[in-house]
Amino acid sequence: MNHAKLKAIAKEYGTPVFVVDHDAIRENYRKFKKYLPRVQAYYAVKANSAPEIVQTLYKIGASFDVASMPEFMLVYDNIRHLPAKKRQDFIWDKIIYAHPIKANQTLIELDQYKPLVTYDNYEEIRKVKKYAPHAGLVLRIKVPNTGAMVELSSKFGADPGDAVNLIKAAHDVGLTVEGISFHVGSQTTNFQNYVQALQVAAGIFKEAWSRGFDKMIQLDIGGGFPAPYDENVRPFRELADTLNAEFDRLFPKKVEILAEPGRFMIATAGTAVSEVIGKADHDGKRCYYINDGVYHTYSGIIFDHCKYPVKAFKKGPTQICSVFGPTCDALDTIGLAEQLPDLKLGDLVYSENIGAYSAASSTYFNGFPPAKVVHVNM
């Protein structure tokens, strides 16, 4: 987004302000569909659950990955006006509740909607049978997460060697397993994670089909699609070419492939604009304090292991600076090696590509409210 528009928004709404460009969301969705034509894109609502974002993606035909009842209802709000059959078809075809562990009360609430849900253990089978018998199941398996920015397989995923037994156990109590899912870890730049996971999944499909579970035709390849945070991230098209070749090699056309892109859809659509509220020199180093931080829009630094370079609208010679957030906690450190010019109190700074896992995990710590959110190009 151009600097003039960002500064105008900051002037109108004040700072800190988090700007979401819906044209960028639409472009990311278009790119995903273009390069992975066989894959149905289920936006991972957790990446940024703003209702406006969900609505934009709904309007352009996206499907949705949810992991809580509030997330489910955010999507449901867009379809509650539909006739009953169309509404149910949308839930079955375009929503997956991709959380292997669900509270009993959640399952009770979900059952009326007859959704697709993931599982990875025998206890969950018993819970679903008792509390949500109308749900369809997708088995999540453990796969390598090597090199991912956020590792996920330590918490979820069945051992692949036990996969067919878990499929059979679900069928034995009258539940239907629709397919297999996995997650290679968030912001995965090691494309071999996908290759290995697809090979493991293909082996499970083959064994399951040989044992009579031939109606199992869904493959959920999860998320992990990397956002272009810097020049070290390989182009998405390279990953897409790798995936498409493996899809064609390993899975017959009857297999329906879906994915859960969150970061990929929303990261480049978000820009944070904040104001310099303090300035000091400590140990010979310039320090700037701004009115946004890691307890707010920059929360991805802590929760997501991400870095968001701080940039200045002002031009001039730069020096290495530290940038801190507004709270009294030393953890509220945005960067210790930011290249910035000489700034005055009241000057504006910004960070790009901060749309995912940022405002979504913002807090009210220390009494500071989250940044205002402004949606543009809706």
What integer pLDDT is reported at residue 89 of this predicted model? 96
What integer pLDDT is reported at residue 304 of this predicted model? 81
What integer pLDDT is reported at residue 148 of this predicted model? 47
What integer pLDDT is reported at residue 234 of this predicted model? 84
CA-CA distances (angstroms) from residue 176 to 147, 153, 265? 34, 24, 31
Catalytic amino acids?
Answer: 328
- 3-state SS of 299-325 is HHHHHCCCCCCCEECCCCCEEEEEEEC
Q: pTM of the entire structure? A: 0.94
Q: CATH: 3.40.50.2300, 3.30.930.10, 3.40.50.300, 3.20.20.10. Which one for 22-266?
A: 3.20.20.10
Spell out, as residue ranges, where the chain has pLDDT lower than 70. 144-154, 186, 188-189
Question: Among 365, 353, 326, 345, which Cα is nearest to 16's?
Answer: 326
The DSSP H or E segment spanning 139 is strand 136-140
- The string of pLDDT tens digits covering residues 137-163 is 999 999 866 554 555 666 789 999 999
Bridge partners, 270 (sequence order): 20
What is 3-18+268-376's CATH number?
2.40.37.10
What integer pLDDT is reported at residue 203 of this predicted model? 95
What integer pLDDT is reported at residue 152 of this predicted model? 60
What integer pLDDT is reported at residue 72 of this predicted model? 98
What integer pLDDT is reported at residue 376 of this predicted model? 97
Query: If phi over 0 gives left and psi between -120 and 50 gives alpha, with beta otherwise, what is residue 114?
Result: left
The DSSP H or E segment spanning 11 is helix 3-13
Tokens of 195: 């290759």
Q: Kindly list the domain boundaries of the chain, sorted by start residue.
A: 3-18+268-376, 22-266
What integer pLDDT is reported at residue 70 of this predicted model? 97
**One-letter amino acid of 110:** L
